[in-house]
Chain A
Amino acid sequence: MSKNVALTDHSTGRSWLAGILTWAIPGAGHLLIGKTTRGLLLGGVVFFMLALGLLLGGHLYGPHSSADIGLLAYVYGFCNLGLGLLYAVCLWAGIGLTDQAARATAEYGNIFLIIAGLLNYLSMLDAFDIASGRKA
């Protein structure tokens, strides 16, 4: 009964909440709207890509790295920002902020981190669409 209510409640506020929640915590918005499997899958992939990216020596971009690569830091930073609260926690804790260019896998790590953020943006839109009734 509660699952049916969750799937048919297409209020605007709920849609935005699902989208923002997915952005903040990957997969959480899907859990909110009753798409448990999809939420765990999408969230798991984003978390795994973040962990793998950091282990490979990748680093997160943002205003702090503009001295190194200029305006491109904001482009990559926007991609990383898709990680939501994970990005904020990493900035706050100082995780993944150091460029480890000497490591052979550092660029692979950067790509994993960038794509993790972009995939979470897609997940966010997916959660919004489902919650608003545009998708099943």
Chain B
Amino acid sequence: MELHKFERRAMKLQVTINGRPFKAESGMTVLDVARAHGIEIPTLCNHPDLKPVGSCRLCMVEIEPQGDLATACTLQLYEGLEVQTETARLVQIRKSILELLLEDYADAGYAAGDREETEFERWLTHYGVHRRTGSSAQLRYPINSDPNPVLWVDRNKCVLCKRCVRSCAEIQGRFVWGVGERGHRVRIIAGADTGLLEARCESCGTCVAYCPTGALDDRMSVGLGKAERTVATTCTYCGVGCQLDLNVRDNRIIRVTTRSPSPVNGLQACVKGRYGYDFVHHPDRLKRPRVRRCLLEDRKRPAEGRGDWVEVDWDAALNLVADKFRRIKASYGPDAIGVMASAKCTNEENYLMQKLARQVIGTHNVDHCARLCHSSTVAGLALCYGSGAMSNTMEDVARDAQALFIIGSNTTEQHPVFGVKLRQAILRRGVPLVVADPRRIDITEFATLHLKLRPGTDVALINGIMQIVLTNGWQDQQFIDQRCEEFEPFYEAVLAYTPEKVSDITGLPVEQLQEAAEILTRHRPMAVIWSMGITQHTTGVLNVLALGNLQMLLGNIGVPGGGVNPLRGQNNVQGACDTGALPNYLPGYQSVTDASVQEKFNTAWQLEIRNGAAGQNATFRLSDAAGLTVTEMIDGSGAGKIRGLYILGENPAMTDPDALHAGQCMAACDFVVLQDIFPSETAAMADVLLPGVSWAEKEGSFTNTDRHIQLVRRAIDPVGEARPDWYIIADLARRILEREDRVPAGLQAAWLYEDPSEIMKEIASLTPIYGGISHERLQRGDQLHWPVPTDDHSGTPILHIGKFTRGKGRFHVTDHLPPKEMPDSEYPLVLTTGRVLYHWHGAEMTRRSHALMELYPETVVEISPEDAEKIGLNGKTSVRVKSRRGEMIAKALVTSRVCPGLIFGNFHFPGLQNVNNLTIEALDPVAKIPEYKVCAVRVESI
């Protein structure tokens, strides 16, 4: 049977094109073969990514010997097929078709200088077709007919290839574009011929990327002229790691384009990636270092706040910081300093941040915002599998999964391009999808089953599903016996989670639990995908362990299309963890408490006293106790335990739970250095602002959610006097060492780097999982997923094949525990929080992107129609939301996306608009992650 399938797939055919023989495979079209061998056949409606429709008729070929005509894009190969692709008759047909298209095509000229030539213009030139004499270009439609802030629609240039319609449907899965009317009046329409936004457009620009004529264009780029160069780089927003081409002119980004084929995303991008780039040129950018006046003048801080800023040069700023840190260290010890690295910065920069903390300052107090997103994943998966990362790749999940289980991930909004790949898997392969989420998030439209569970009841749900699996004997016993341990206690514990009990806890009907168990077990491999909905709970680690149990139970580990797939939020949160920006791990998850690891780094990073006595001048020894987490550092600064903070590109004043409290703590801290591109909300508590640069202004690498290491390339010069962050960190380190009279002695102890590729060499030399990574390899186009132990290793797309990282997979007993704060009569509603498609975390960048702000200008709280009525919203649009910790004011969106009793808010807007004024700083006992996903609130209309 298998052999038969193999034979069919590999069936070779002999065909002849223009007299030349070719070998090809059945199922291919003439166009496929022609393209593969560089035989050019003109096309407009065809695109290799899209299903052929054969409607433009440009690619017609002649079939010999009769000269029958057929479109190459739809003509399936058969043995002995002979075609001619460029006869006199075909040329005549193509000219006539292009002439006809030109009759209806009218270019008003406003974008004439923006591109070399469009695909359509290229074919006109190729066949020497000009507008017929006597016919004139009549503008039949408005040239700018849609108010969408990022898309430009000009139907006068439309040739009805419908690539927009098909890419929106087949690639993006949105079905916004369609075709209206018939005959000569046919035109592309959005929705019911409304504006694009009303037609549920996500503004991703995929249709623009596929348009061959410029009828659809990037609004922000129209009329800006041709790019001087394009620079391929990795997107700065989410962990998907899309490859983008920054189009640069006059040292400004004028457009972002995508290429097919390119790894990860091809021609796709999301609205932020494609259109959220203008923050780079925002006037708020920090262009020179700033220092508080009182510090410069060596006076005491004013009673309120921290006083005025004074702009200074780099020497002044860095010397001041180096002096301050040295003094704090001398007075209070190295553990009185906290270092916050950044998931937005490169691998190289994060490595330097933790090296600074550990080697120069001498503390493990280094952490970053992964604490707030996936620390429970890292802790949980390390316990059960031995590795905290996504086990599979986005590609194999989308390609090979037979079922998908999305739990606590708003994939299509937070990882839009991966969300789109999942939509494609569902649309093209009919993969069943089970979504567990209290909200009716976008992807539920594609779900076979949506489990609308009560917030904070995930463990019960997963246990309930596993109970049904076990009572029916659906588990993969062979996998469990051979590859796992501790099954018995787990088995005993799970049996208590009867469907009835689980139904009581989760609020889900018993039948839905049964259906979920059936879908998820009948289709294997099944991939489980999660994100903050699983991790940001006081039971975060338990949730992760339960999912780990589920995938072992079903034997879905170590196979393409299966696995545990926590989606990392920030562009480089994976890399920041990998490179050691964690209080308990050195780079590559080498434990700070492991003696051999300590030894290795003590040697590598060794420092000596300048001119010290021989043999006694070794001054560096790693601390053997783990450092403080982000949340502990913040609390510690309020309690006087942390005296100095060095924050790189993070905004705790916005993003920490109970944000008012976080702000008060930092305000109390003696000395806060913030290195960022904007004066963020945290800047109010800072003493020194160091202007770093955006991703477009520096070199380095990001590691995306599936452990794929990709290059970041500099496209423009730094804005003002801003400097690349790696450069600033190294400079600061040298100045501190200088003040302490210490000099590098170990092989990797120095701080002199020509460029980030040298930093990566150092990382590779100390980090086994990055052992084979180098900028040279990445530059060459190697697609590497860690572990990459050696130079000649091709990476490890799928983890745990044959054996778990920790040896045997370990089952854990997980019991349901309720969230910390439940609604009561005073605060009767549950608040759950998250992000929206158009903004990014604290939104320091997206709030400074013109288009994204037009699309989503203010904070919005989702309220169910039932609660809206109870609250007496009655058409009013503003609400005040209060919790025991604070309040926020927001626009109310009455929507059935949330069920009665639940409201949803985002943390993208500052001050009174910030939902983190309300959230609770209740932590998971193991991972120390805050419970952002559940707290009790009250809503009043205002």
Task: State yes or no: do A and B come from one complex.
Answer: no
Interface residues of B (CB under 8 A from A): none
Interface residues of A (CB under 8 A from B): none
